[in-house]
Amino acid sequence: MISWLADNIANILVLTAVLLAVILAVRSMVRDKKAGKSSCDCGCANCAMAGKCHQHQK
């Protein structure tokens, strides 16, 4: 088991870093969604999907 870990430590570290980045990105998206923030932060005035993404607020 220790031999396998020693042989694959670089892969394990890279996988851990990627997994952490994905978890933090999803966490940020969930927090922004709960706070009512837009995904693009450019406003809805010129957005073609303005009537679709905020239907529940009407």
Domain contains 50? no
Domain contains 52? no
Report how far residue 15's alpha carbon sits from residue 17's, in angstroms, rounded to the nearest whole number. Answer: 5
Digit-coded pLDDT (tens) for 9-46: 999 999 999 999 999 999 998 998 888 776 666 666 77
What letter would DSSP give residue 37?
-
Domain contains 2? yes
- Domain hosting 33: range is 1-38
Domain contains 57? no
pTM of the model: 0.62
